[in-house]
Amino acid sequence: MVQTPPPPRTAEDAAWILRLATPISTTAHGPLAGLHFAVKDNIDVAGLPTTAACPGFGYRADEHAMVVQRLLDAGASVAGKTNMDQFACGLNGTRSPYGPVPNAFDARYVCGGSSSGSAWTVARGQVDFALGTDTAGSGRVPAGLNNIVGLKPSKGLVSARGVLPAAQSVDCVSIFAPTVALAARVRHAAMGHDCADPYSRRLRLERSPYPQRFRFGVPDELVFFGDELARAAFADAVARLRELGGTPVTIDYRPLREAASLLYDSALVAERYAAVRAFFDGHADEVVEPVRGILASGSGYAAWELCEAQTRLRALAQRADAMWEHIDLLVVPTAPTHYTIAQMHADPVALNRNLGAYTNFVNLLDYAALSVPSTLRADGLPFGITLIGRSGSDLQLAELGQRYHHATGLPQGATDLPLPAPAAIPGLAVPATVKLAVVGAHLSGMALNPQLTERGARLLARTETAPDYRLFALPGTTPPKPGLLRIDPGMGHRIAVEVWEMPMEQYGSFVALVPPPLAIATLRLADGSAVQGFVCEAFSILDARDISHFGGWRAYLALQRSDAVPAF
């Protein structure tokens, strides 16, 4: 019997099963050149062991998994193998003889699994991206709990050849990254039909973004298991999606919830047993609990019971399909709450099930999904949401997910690094647009904002100008408006702005609405980029109040309403 490895001394020990001193690479050229990635330990890397967090099962891989080979060919380098819930059976990251992987923000809490080690390495900035797998949410829950992006492609889009199955018919290779744009680049390099993978397929991806005014489904049953911080965070997420042009639509969650229950509470669990049957039947004592019990339960079903479960799943899929007549995508919390490692050890089955409240149905019903960071809660723990679309909606989810992520203003993972500027989503056909910075009455929620939204404009980001401007409250304007005046470089203030993206075909009609003394000119933002934006003519500030020190129009109005500033 193989001895259990010693417990890890640090979080890094727990996350990495094998970290290479010299990364594996095949070329220095390609779209991913210079990037390093970690690989979950159920995915083969030639010359390295694959243990699936079960040392007795381990073998040395003779060749790379197809996804690893494609990423190497694209110029990326393998940095090592990462810890996981054993045999990819779990959503919490504590079911491993190599030790539990802690949350990247607070080591008392679970990281989420089964792709826990891969998520931790990305959240801590140790690699540029990482590969995980996702059968029931393992590529999403760790992302949501660690403030990173978790991209779960449509089934069959990325080859799973060379990946130890968990439940082969629903398995996906997943991608963790600090930004949506990078995750999308990796997916683009990794995807492609593979005739040697029985579940690979040729998918036609939808190349157009979601409509300017989109509809997003919200479950009529929302559970957070007593976590009011998570409940409030999801309400904030719905509000942010409204600002981006979305309209929430309540959907019947019952068929999704019932489909999710089939994964472990029906004969469908037999597929998990089938994946490791040859090893498990002779070595069950080398498998940790509760993984051992879950796999063993799959061995007792009859063929007729599996057929019955598959038919039940198809019936639920038909019921769930009705929601797509009313929505463009579905939005759910990635995970409903956080649990400590101690709590998870005390009640490993029920709490693990809770973490999958919004994930288990996705692959069973053949959907694509993207988990994006949403907020850092008052207790310092991350909260994420998942955008879910029909199979083939991967590019649409990435486009909306990137806009949402950048609207949060969050850092990258558990680092202090700010998000970089949004980047193009490979493969997405984007119509001609213009970026416009607004500073006053056109801000979200203000009187003239409908002039943007009715033209299909999308909120891209909240940011600041370069320190080259002064802001004035212009007298006699209805509704009240500020004027932004450019002065000598570095001699002014950083002024809060919102950057919107408008279809070019609508831009002319918008500019025609701009009254003097306001005008549209080129503005320089804090990151050095340039966009179109509102300015004012110099003569208009002669009788105007300089409000630059407030940092923005919204802050000035808030203090004015509180009587801290006399009305103009």
**What is the set of active-site residues?**
40, 114, 138
Q: Report the C-alpha gap between 353 and 263 in whole angstroms.
A: 11
> Which pLDDT score is estimated for 159?
98
pLDDT of residue 562: 58
User: What pLDDT, on a 0 to 100 scale, did the predictor assign at position 565?
Assistant: 45
CA atoms within 13 A on the CB side of 440: 22
C-beta of residue 139 within 8 angstroms of C-beta of residue 174: yes
For residue 230, give the amino acid letter.
A
Cα separation of 204 and 91, whole Å?
30
- What is the DSSP secondary-structure string of 253-283? -HHHHHHHHHHHHSGGGHHHHHHHHHHHHHH
Tell which residue, 201, 161, 144, has the closest CA to residue 67. Answer: 161
Q: What is the pLDDT of residue 4?
A: 55
CATH homologous superfamily, domain 433-561: Gamma-glutamyl cyclotransferase-like (3.10.490.10)
Under a CB-based contact definition with an 8 Å cutoff, are residues 376 and 185 in contact? no
C-beta separation of 457 from 212 below 8 A:
yes
Residues near 568 by Cβ (< 8 Å), separated by ≥ 6?
Answer: 473, 475, 480, 545, 560
Note the pLDDT of residue 76: 98
pLDDT at 5: 66
Which CATH number describes the domain made up of 25-194+207-408? Answer: 3.90.1300.10
Total-model pTM: 0.81
Can you list the residues of the chain whose pLDDT is less than 70? 1-5, 561-568
Torsion sign, CA atoms 60, 63, 68, 74 = positive
Residue pair 115/121 in contact (Cβ under 8 Å)? The answer is: no
Q: With CA atoms as reference, report the closest residue to 113 among 147, 137, 129.
A: 137
Give pLDDT, residue 2: 40
Is residue 72 within 8 A of residue 104, CB to CB? The reply is no
Give the pLDDT confidence score for residue 563 in this predicted structure: 54
* C-beta of residue 87 within 8 angstroms of C-beta of residue 53: yes
pLDDT at 7: 73
The domains of the chain are located at: 25-194+207-408, 433-561
In angstroms, rounded to a whole number, what is the distance separating the alpha carbons of residues 158 and 67?
7
Cis peptide before 422 (omega within 30 of 0): no
Question: Which residue carries 């004969």 as its tokens?
Answer: 267
Q: Is the peptide bond before 31 cis (omega within 30 degrees of 0)?
A: no
SS3 at position 329: strand
